[in-house]
Structure 1
Amino acid sequence: MNLKKKSINRSLRILVIMVLLLPLGGIGSGSLATATSDTSCGKGDHGLLQQLQKQHQGEGHQSVLSFTDIQFLNDRIGRVSGNGFIIGTSDAGCHWQEIYTGQWQIAQIDFSDNKNGWALATLPSEQKKHLIQTSDGGAHWKNVDTAITFDRIDILNDKEGLGYTATSAYKTVDGGKSFAPIPTPVNNRYASFSNMKTGWSIIVIPSGGYKVMKTVDGGEHWSLKLKVAADSNNGGEIYSNGNQVWALLYGEAGMSQVSYSLYGSTDGGSHWNRVIAQDTAGGGPAPGSGKAITQKGPASPGGHPGNMQLIGDRTAFLAGGSPAGEVVSVGRSFNGAQSWTNITPSIEGYDARISFADSKKGWLAVVNSSDKSAVYMTKDGGVSWNVKFSLKK
Structure 2
Amino acid sequence: MNWNKMLHQGKLTLLSAVLVAVSAWGMHASPSQAASAATAVPACGTGDHGLLKELQARHAASEETPLSFSDLQFLSADTGRAAGSGFMIGTSDGGCHFQEIYQGQWNFRQIDFPNNVQGWALASVKDTAATYLIATTNGGSTWTRIGNTATDFERIDFKDSKRGFGYSQNATSYTIDGGRTWSLIRTPANTRSAEFTSRDKGYALVIAPGAGYRVMKTSNGGSTWSLSLQSAFAYPESGRIYASGDQVYALLYGGTGMSQTSYSLYASSNKGGSWKRVIAQDSAGGGPAPGSGAAQLRSGPASGKPGNMQLIGSSAAFLVGFSPAGEKVAVGRSYKGGKAWTNLPAIPGYEGMISFTGLKEGWMAVRGQNTSSLYSTGDGGSTWKLKFVFKGTEQ
Please state which band the TM-score falls in when normalised by the shorter chain: 0.7 to 0.9
Contact 1:229 1:287 in 2 (8 A): no
Residue 34 of structure 2 corresponds to none
Deviation at 1:209, TM superposition (A): 2.2
Residue 74 of structure 1 corresponds to 76
Q: Structure 1 residues 63, 281: closer, same or farther in 2, change over 3 A?
A: closer
Contact 1:28 1:114 in 2 (8 A): no
Distance 1:324 1:83 in 2: 25
Superposition pairs of residues 55-70 of structure 1, within 5 angstroms:
64-70=66-72
CA RMSD of aligned residues (A): 2.4
Q: Find the residue that maps to 2:55 and give its secondary structure.
A: helix
Deviation at 1:373, TM superposition (A): 0.8
Q: Structure 1 residues 176, 128: closer, same or farther in 2, change over 3 A?
A: same
Distance 1:37 1:376 in 2: 25
Distance 1:251 1:219 in 2: 27
Q: Find the residue that maps to 1:53 and give its secondary structure.
A: helix
Deviation at 1:234, TM superposition (A): 1.1
Q: Percent identity, aligned pairs only?
A: 47
Q: Structure 1 residues 34, 102: closer, same or farther in 2, change over 3 A?
A: same
Superposition pairs of residues 26-41 of structure 1, within 5 angstroms:
32-34=8-10, 38=14, 39-41=41-43
Residue 329 of structure 1 corresponds to 330
Corresponding letter in the other structure for 2:372? S
Distance 2:119 2:369 in 1: 26
Residue 22 of structure 1 corresponds to none
Superposition pairs of residues 133-172 of structure 1, within 5 angstroms:
133-145=135-147, 146=149, 148-172=151-175
Number of positions where the alignment pairs a residue of Structure 1 with one of Structure 2: 363
Distance 2:43 2:238 in 1: 41
Contact 1:28 1:136 in 2 (8 A): no
CA deviation map 1:254-308 (0-9, x unaligned): 11111110001110010111000001111111112221110001111xx111111
Distance 2:218 2:212 in 1: 20
Contact 2:52 2:100 in 1 (8 A): no
Distance 1:230 1:72 in 2: 39
> Do residues 251 (structure 1) and 254 (structure 2) align?
yes
CA deviation map 1:119-151 (0-9, x unaligned): 011112211111110010000001111553211
Corresponding letter in the other structure for 2:386? V
Q: Where does structure 1 lack aligned partners over 5 or more consecutive residues?
A: 1-25
Corresponding letter in the other structure for 1:321? F
Residue 378 of structure 1 corresponds to 377
Q: Structure 1 residues 102, 50: closer, same or farther in 2, change over 3 A?
A: closer
Distance 1:177 1:351 in 2: 34
Corresponding letter in the other structure for 2:338? A
Distance 1:256 1:36 in 2: 48
TM-score relative to the length of structure 2: 0.86
Q: Structure 1 residues 85, 50: closer, same or farther in 2, change over 3 A?
A: closer
Counterpart selection for 1:265 from 268, 287, 291: 268
> Do residues 349 (structure 1) and 349 (structure 2) align?
yes
Counterpart selection for 2:278 from 275, 278, 281: 275
Counterpart selection for 1:173 from 148, 173, 176: 176
Residue 119 of structure 2 corresponds to 117
